[in-house]
Amino acid sequence: MMFVTEYETSNFATSNKLNESTTMIKQKIAFLLFAAAFSFSAIAQPTHAVTDPEKKFKDAKALFVQEHFALAYPLFAELKAANPDNTVSDHTYINDDVNYYYIVCRLKLQEPKAAPDARHYISVVNNEPRRQLLSYHLAKFYFTKEDFTNAINFYERAGLENLSNDEIGDAKFERAYSYFNLKQFAEAKPLFDEIQQMPIANIIYRQITTTGLSVIMIKIIKRPCGLLNWWKPMPIIKA
């Protein structure tokens, strides 16, 4: 028969208390960790809400710069739908940029309804560089549609100061090209002359420019020549 001493009883009680204390400490630590995780999630959520549209805008703009317009377009469409023009949000500062890129993508994708939206943007935007750049893209849209009158109109509105060298070459050539096809030879000639002097003019531009100038000179001096018999609207060159 075993006898439990007073010392053993005391030691056993102390051990139980230590176990209970350890369990309580573990429970408190678990609760504190859970509370901290919940608080971090609550704080991080608004930050994610702020940065997500900015990241999407940067991604869409990168695709735009790479001329992947079909890929950039749906991203800009999502951003525009999330922040309509008649609402105020934390991302209002990018709304104007979104509208610009959204319309240009639609023009590049030859969406018919993009033209009136571009005209409206040009008429209301309070940003002259953007007004001129969108005029350039709208002019190219009309040019590919062989609407040479509107192409000339918006190339004139676009100016040259906000265009890259390649865009300046395109604008001068396509404007001259449009004048030529409307038989406005006096307006086309100086532009063709400029293109021939431009170091960035590519070989196709030079060849067509030379042909155009030949026809223009024959027409201006009114000499009868067989070349006039083959005159016809110059073909559109699409990239």
pLDDT tens by residue, the chain, 239 residues: 444 455 444 554 455 554 555 555 555 555 555 455 444 444 444 444 445 778 899 999 999 999 999 999 999 999 999 877 655 555 555 788 899 999 999 999 999 999 999 999 999 998 999 999 999 999 999 999 999 999 999 999 999 999 998 898 889 989 998 998 998 988 988 888 887 777 654 545 555 555 555 555 545 444 443 333 333 445 554 44
Tokens 């038989």 belong to which residue?
183
pLDDT of residue 145: 94
Give the rounded distance of the alpha carbon of 159 from its chain centre: 20
pLDDT of residue 226: 37
- Give the span between the Cα atoms of 224 and 106, in whole angstroms: 46
The answer to whether residues 122 and 151 touch, using CB atoms and an 8 Å cutoff, is no
pLDDT of residue 12: 46
DSSP 8-state assignment for residue 198: -
pLDDT of residue 74: 96
pLDDT of residue 28: 56
Give pTM, 2 decimals.
0.67
User: One-letter amino acid identity for 86?
Assistant: N
